[in-house]
Amino acid sequence: MLYLAIFTFLFWFVVWLDAKIGMRKITKVEHVKEDESLQHKGPLLSIIVAAKDEEKHIEASLQSQFQQTYHNIEWIVVNDRSTDRTGTIIEKLAETETRMKYLHIHHLKEGWLGKNHALYEGFLQSKGENILFTDADIFFHKDTITKAIIYFHNKKLDHLTLAPNLKGSSFWTNAFISYFLFGFGFFKRPWKSNDPKSKAAIGIGAFNLLSRKAYVQIGTHKNIKMRPDDDLMLGWQIKKAGKKQHLALALEHLQVEWYPDLRSALIGLEKNTFAGLFYSYFMVLFAISGLFLSQLFPFIALFVTTGATQQIFFLSILMLFLAYNVTANKMAKGANTYLTVFPITVLIFIYSIARATVLTLYRGGIIWRGTFYSIKQLKK
């Protein structure tokens, strides 16, 4: 038990040190300096939005985009088989915004996931030198695009992804979001995506900005047409092709209600949890065991150990909290508030992995936005 305590402490010390150094290398969008010449004379940007049953958010999201200080923009908004008022709202907005085009998709092509298909069809209608893939529930600060284009241009990037401020409507939803970002931070090491020598890659569905040339060279969404984690895989394809990629934080410039409640978050994670573990039972077992031993057991050990072992486990928890502070608290506003329920959020996340895996196996696939995709299709 003493050796486990020492190993756990050393593990979290390394994670904290790596994250502390790494997070300093990630730029905040608000720190990007304005460039009026690029703002008014920059290249055409095609913003492609895929929307399925988004009547709650899509009008406000698009209106926030229409008010951008960057001028040379066209919008291609794709209504992907919506059964609510999404299509009607899109058509109404197009009457007042001349830069916007829309496309209704009534049938999903064989061998495609809905969102990937919608984004690809939108791309086929676009003309921009640069392309931005975003979701229909993202709210933009008025100078978000300007700052992103300036950063993209100055760094000579092929791909820029921005991390938005994720918010929930309840204490437990926000606690789970904060924990999710913590796991994302130490597991994905997002700062490494900015290192051209590293194979680490990142992509966030809220904001994936690419040069048209790079997007075509990696094979467009055709190469990832059955990936539920399309945003991450888009970034992975860019890095694999040896192209230049960066992540920047945009907590003051992009906002999204990730999920309205905890139950919705658990349902939402059904689609990509098993995919993120490569559809491998071994990886599921490894992930759950690793989470239990590294993040939950130290708290249990405080009550079942004594002496030096107990003290080292206590120090392990302190290092874990320090790692949380330099990851989750930098990527979500007020994340440290939810440290008080950290062990519970670990249990919820373990449950989410087990739940998603069992449901995927029981159903023989995933249900995403009302469409069923078989595990055989997904693995292929």
Q: Is 128 helix (H, G, I), strand (E, B) or coil?
A: coil
Give the alpha-carbon dihedral of 150, 152, 154, 155, to 10 degrees: 150
Give me the chain's average pLDDT, please.
94
- Summarize the confidence of residues 174-203 as an average pLDDT: 92
- Summarize the confidence of residues 340-353 as an average pLDDT: 96
pLDDT confidence of residue 195: 94
Residue appearing with tokens 């298909």: 117
Res. 278: pLDDT tops 90: no
**DSSP character string of 96-117:** H-TTEEEEEE-SPPTT--HHHH
Q: Is 199 helix (H, G, I), strand (E, B) or coil?
A: coil
Give the CA count within 13 Å in the CB-facing half-sphere of 3: 0
Query: Given the DSSP bridges, would you call strands 138-140 and 245-257 parallel, antiparallel or unpaired?
Result: antiparallel
- Summarize the confidence of residues 226-237 as an average pLDDT: 94
Q: Is 7 helix (H, G, I), strand (E, B) or coil?
A: helix
CA distance 201 to 261: 29
- Summarize the confidence of residues 341-355 as an average pLDDT: 96
Res. 380: pLDDT tops 90: no
> Is pLDDT larger for residue 45 or for residue 281?
45
Give residue-wise pLDDT tens across range 301-325.
999 999 999 999 999 999 999 999 9
Q: Is 373 helix (H, G, I), strand (E, B) or coil?
A: strand
Set out the domains of the chain in order of their start, with CATH numbers.
2-21+270-379 (no CATH), 26-261 (3.90.550.10)
Q: What H or E segment, with its residue span, contains residue 133?
A: strand 130-135
pLDDT confidence of residue 37: 73
Q: What H or E segment, with its residue span, contains residue 268?
A: helix 262-268
- Summarize the confidence of residues 73-98 as an average pLDDT: 97
pTM (2 d.p.): 0.93
How would residue 333 be classed by pLDDT, with cut points 50, 70 and 90? confident
Give residue-wise pLDDT tens across range 159-178.
999 999 998 888 999 999 99
CA distance 293 to 299: 10
Give the alpha-carbon dihedral of 105, 110, 112, 115, to 10 degrees: 20
CA distance 114 to 370: 10
How would residue 43 be classed by pLDDT, with cut points 50, 70 and 90? very high
